[in-house]
Chain A
Amino acid sequence: MTDSKKSAVILCTCGKQLGLDYGHLSSHLEKHELVSSVIVHDTCCQPDGLDSIVELVDSNDGRLVIAACTNQKIQPRIDMYLRTKNVDPSKIRYVNIREQSAWVHGDKSEATLKSLDMIKGAVAASSISQPLHVQKKTVPPHVTVVGGGIAGLETALSLSNLGYEVVLVEITDTLGGHVLNLPVVAPTGKSGAEVMKSRLDAIGKDNRIQVMTNTYVRFFEGEMGNFTVHYTSDGKDGTLHTSAVVMATGFKEFKPVQMDEYRYGKNPDVLTQYELSQMITAGDIKKPSSAQDVKEVVMVQCVGSRSEDYKRDCSKLCCTFAIDNAIELKERLPDVNVRVVYMDIRVPFENEMIYKKSRELGVDFIRGRVSMVWENDGQTRVKIYDSLMNQYFEVPADLLVLSSAVLPSDGLAELGETLGYMIEDDGHIKELYGKLRRNETRRRGVVAVGAATRPQFVFEAVTDAQAASLVLHNELQGGAIETLARGAVLEVDDCVGCSLCAQQCPRGVPLMIEQTESEEINPEQKLIFKASIDTLNCHACGVCQSLCPSGATQLNFISNEQLWAEITATLENAGPDRPITLCFYCEECAVSTIDIAGIRKMEYPATTRLVPVPCAGRVSIIDILKAFENGAGAVMIAACETDRCHVGGTGNEIAQVQVDVARDILNAIGWKGARVDMFRMFSAEPQRFIDAISEMTRRASEFGPTPVHNGEAGKWMEVVE
């Protein structure tokens, strides 16, 4: 029975606790033309249930619909069990009749009807399921690290230890970056040079690491597994091929020349905190203007940081750096007076003890701001407002040291244009997800480490580098990539070259490839560029599919045909008397929110039918209109919260656009546009889903039968406001 489209159906009773009418479900499904057999099982997640599933998958060419609790809970168990039995689980489809039906509807006959409709939808999609396969791909075990500071060095060493060839590109003529010039590194108190020494030695001895100094990267081409780096080294242009890229470009210290109040750049005795570090490391602490001894030092915190005009956020490191340098000055020049003018002293964890030590050494901390700096007879003078005493006072300064903001290094935005990562509001490289995926960027195969992403202490940059190496190792798997090819598949012949997929893919996977051969075949209608998608790089959200005007790119587990078949079958019983709300929900935040609402047994109307999609961005205008065409009274999309799309960041916003356009279309053809809407889900707040779906069912009944129900669809109508 290899070419049968029929699926087996297993109905789970959850230990006979769900209260649905299984007799009704079985008798209807047994008669269904696309169902081969129906089994009712009490616990299909338990060993005997799993064995039944193996049997059913085996005897139905993989086509099985499991109607049970949330697939988020049982699917991994079933998948793993089937794999141990060498049975392919990829064609199985799940319907959640527990959290999405039995547990949330007091009226069990309504819940049974809803379950039946959703099972029929899954059966329809199952009838045209394609199996997914594990595929292998070999890529060179080669990574390029951009930036030779602490984070870059540590990443290069870690990757080398994991078996990768590494090219380390450094724009200056020496490795080591900012850390080399730090007199002390908090909290251990060692000098930057000491911290760097073992790493610099190791790099020198490591045959797998090739160092290129005096080299800057101009731009990139390609994708994970096949990047080309275009660089200029010692004035000569060159290229190299690599499988992944590490951005370790560090930071630059803000030079406050525009801030007239501090006279930086005009008065040589005014310097930045890092310039003071360099002076201390060089061992020659003198007044730059006169080479005289230093007796009076004033440090100013938050220069450019926490300021609406320059950098809005805190630079995190400056308080600790200032205190480190203040202690160094006190220890090297016992007679020196050090005053630190601050807004809040911010020294995390153990650095508090360094703050305490500095006060014990006599460093004076003044809460307030510097209001004016001027020179009098070669002597710098500073007027300070003390907010605790509510007083102004004036002090001399041999050195005025500005704790200047930590900014990203230059050129990040330009490299991002070809490498495909995003930039934060503050100019640093934007992480894929601030809580769990800090090293990854929007683009697959590109990670960022160290101060390229945010100000980081030395030990944090080291940890970051080690973690990022693991992230890349997980992606490249040593060069022999083996993964389930679950994602977008492109039919190149159908591609019209519009490039929407390449522009909008949240992970930057589709590339536009120049078509050199097509010119010869048909010069009249030549397409100069066509898309190319590597399914193994795809994160399977379906944004490209919902945007593709020609259906050229489709997810291999939820094709257009499959989703439309599911919509049609689910809505078979929708009619004028039963206003049905169809809810597309993403299998990220929305599925969790809906599941939690289920676990908490929060009631909502049973005239709802739920259809899963991997990401809200998978739902196209056509999909929404298909639902109305098949009799839906209202359509909603449940998606992740704004800015928190789980599949790369923008799937939910693309869905919002589709919903907005669908609403405009409905309004334009004389329907009520409010029949379609989108809602943001959040699993800690399950009430959001209850409110959203209750609102849509209310609209469905308030607006009454649609033109489809009334048989008026497709006919000319007067628009009535």
Chain B
Amino acid sequence: MSDSVLIIGAGVAGLTAAVELADSGVKVTVVERLATVGGNALDLYKAFPTDDCFYCFEGNRWRPGIRKCFYRSVLLDQPNIDLKLSSQVKEISGASGNFDVRIEVGSQYVDSKKCIMCGLCMEKSQAFSLISPQCQPQAVVYDPEKVDEGARVAAEECPTKAIDLDAQPSESTVKVSDIIVATGYHEMQPIAMDEYGYGRYTNVITQLELAKIIDPNGSSNGVLVRPSDGAPASRVLMVQCVGSRDENYYPYCSKICCIFALKHANILVQERENVSVSVVYMDIRTYDRHERYYRDAREAGVEFVRGRIMRVEPHSENELSVIVYDSLLDKYLKYTVDLLVLSSALEPPKGGSAITSALNLNMANGFIAPFDPVSEEEVVVGEHIYACGTALGPAEVPESVTQARAVVSKILQRRK
């Protein structure tokens, strides 16, 4: 029987589980769909509840200290971690405790272990880029769709010969005793919701898109700009519960959007120049100590309107006109804004259902439900199958981390 563990998804939860298991001497295979790890957290800029950068990641036994920057997590050099990027699980067969896993490994154009980030290829060709200065692995990625004349030159001149433009996808099979599903979430793209104009007007964006705009390491160096013309934006309207608590889309509360929105509102009002923010809500749900964000926002002058958005239309080429129903005043209000930010529902990841149905897991609202509901053990989702992070439902970073540790704890307990 194999003792290694398969981890599907290399976001906060999957990576925490990987590092903890590897530290405990357990071999893991981590399968990640994208070319870099970090999942949705990679785009968050500042993470609640600590308001420091999301790049913080747990250290390991060989790296003392409370936490390490993401780019220092050196997953590639951890001997117990086999990281398969741009890859997908194709098939899981075999019995519980003795699974056979077939993995489709995408074309590995750049050997991350060889890439030294010297920057030569990025000078020669548009097809190479660094996704983020703190990305992990610390390596450039190649986009074959942007191939140009310089790409060949870059491949030839690369000092470590890390580039293979002719790389092909391959397949790999592993035997594992346990499976951890950490497939995360997807932010709903509310294109179908006509009333918000998302997808129709470029200045209607989601919170995750806003996070990218205000990231100082992003394209506008952290200045709040309108996507339509790149000019600085000063009037922002946020709408809560877009697709959440809505029988037509997702009946559940997405749990973290209020805090996510207020975190952004506070950054905009307190740390950016001349920005005013209004938030349209049904209930403000800042649980526990997150109440601080609500207090701070009110003190900083963020305006709260209890009600719903009725209509969005263009006001000028780069401005939007928004009609809001205020349920406390029982009145309709008209706003002219630069940006309309939708706090869009957290939905189960696309393509995740292939895995959950192959493993025959219990589901609730598209997320993974516990194996035994009476035990209240949320992370145990099957025989030798575990889940952590937002695959279980909306979760904050610290909750994902705690769940990942609980998974590792359960796996080690069973092996004692």
Contact = CB atoms under 8 A, between A and B. Distances in A.
Nearest to A428: B289
Contacts of B412: 162, 470, 473
Residue from A438, A599, A641, A684 with most neighbouring chain B CB atoms (10 Å): A684
Given A46-B160, A467-B409, A470-B20, A436 B401 contact: yes
A646 interface: yes
Contact of B285 (A344, A469, A647): A344
A17 interface: yes
B376 A486 contact: no
A119 interface: no
A188 B222 contact: no
B52 interface: yes
B288 A436 contact: no
B416 A163 contact: yes
Contacts of B64: 486, 539-540
Interface size range of chain B in the complex = 35 or more
Contacts of A432: 66
Contact of A314 (B222, B286, B393): B286
A466 B327 contact: no
B45 interface: yes
A426 interface: yes
Contact of B55 (A43, A592, A648): A592
Residue from A161, A314, A473 with most neighbouring chain B CB atoms (10 Å): A314
Contact of A190 (B295, B373, B409, B414): B373
B371 to A, nearest CB: 12
Contacts of A469: 409, 413
A76 B114 CA distance: 15
B118 A17 contact: yes
A463 B67 contact: no
A571 to B, nearest CB: 28
A659 B394 CA distance: 44
A438 B252 contact: no
A352 B376 CA distance: 18
A336 interface: no
Contacts of A426: 289
A237 interface: no
Nearest to B79: A80
A600 B122 CA distance: 13
A338 B410 CA distance: 42
Contacts of A644: 50, 52
A15 interface: yes
Contacts of B114: 46
Interface in A187-202: 188, 190, 194-195, 198
B59 to A, nearest CB: 9
A449 B189 CA distance: 37
A14 interface: yes
A684 B217 contact: yes
Contacts of B77: 76-77, 80
A356 B403 contact: no
A76 B63 CA distance: 8
Interface string B61-73: 1111111010110
Nearest to A163: B416
A435 B117 contact: no
Contact of A73 (B71, B252, B408): B71
A315 B289 CA distance: 8
A72 B50 CA distance: 23
A435 B50 CA distance: 6
B376 A458 contact: yes
B318 interface: no
Contacts of A529: none
Contacts of A76: 62-63, 72, 74, 77
A464 B402 contact: yes
Given A73-B71, A162-B416, A466-B379, A435 B283 contact: no
A346 interface: yes
B118 A462 contact: no
Contacts of B377: 459, 462-463, 466
Contacts of A629: none
Mostly, the A contact residues are loop
Contacts of B401: 435-436, 438
A69 B116 contact: yes
A345 interface: yes
Contacts of B92: none
Contact of A646 (B66, B120, B289, B394): B66
Contacts of A312: 291-292, 295
Contacts of A4: none
Interface in A638-667: 641, 644, 646-648
Contacts of B370: 459
B218 to A, nearest CB: 10
Contacts of A466: 377, 379, 405-406, 409-410
A438 B405 CA distance: 11
A682 interface: yes
A188 B373 contact: yes
Given A313-B288, A686-B217, A15 B118 contact: yes
Given A15-B160, A76-B77, A188-B374, A473 B292 contact: no
A346 B116 CA distance: 49
A439 B399 CA distance: 11
A356 B72 contact: no
A15 B159 contact: yes
A158 B413 contact: yes
A378 to B, nearest CB: 36
B217 A315 contact: no
Interface stretch (B130-138, B191-199, B350-358): B130-138
B120 A454 contact: no
A136 interface: no
A483 interface: yes
B169 interface: no
B144 interface: no
Given A599-B117, A600-B133, A79 B376 contact: no
A42 B119 CA distance: 14
A161 B416 contact: yes
A685 B222 contact: yes
B164 interface: no
Residue from B114, B160, B413 with most neighbouring chain A CB atoms (10 Å): B413
Interface in A681-717: 682-687
Nearest to A71: B72
Given A43-B116, A161-B416, A599-B117, A349 B393 contact: yes
A353 B285 contact: no
A516 interface: no
Contact of A352 (B117, B251, B328, B416): B251
A439 B64 CA distance: 17
B332 interface: no
A383 interface: no
B53 A682 contact: yes
A347 B253 contact: yes
Nearest to A72: B72
A671 B365 CA distance: 68
Contacts of B283: 344-346
Given A312-B295, A387-B328, A470-B408, A439 B402 contact: yes
A102 B61 CA distance: 32
B72 A684 contact: no
Interface string B21-64: 00110000000000000000000011101101111111001111
7 contacts: A198-B375, A436-B67, A599-B130, A684-B46, A684-B55, A684-B216, A685-B53
Given A458-B376, A596-B217, 11 more contacts: A15-B158, A72-B69, A158-B413, A162-B413, A188-B374, A316-B287, A437-B58, A474-B20, A483-B61, A539-B64, A646-B65
Sort A-B residue pairs by CB-CB distance and give the 4 closest, nearest first: A15-B159, A684-B53, A467-B405, A161-B413
Interface of B: 20, 23-24, 45-47, 49-50, 52-58, 61-67, 69, 71-72, 74, 77, 79, 114, 116-120, 130, 133-134, 138, 158-160, 215-217, 221-222, 245, 251-255, 283-292, 295, 327-328, 364-365, 370, 373-379, 393-394, 397-399, 401-406, 408-410, 412-414, 416
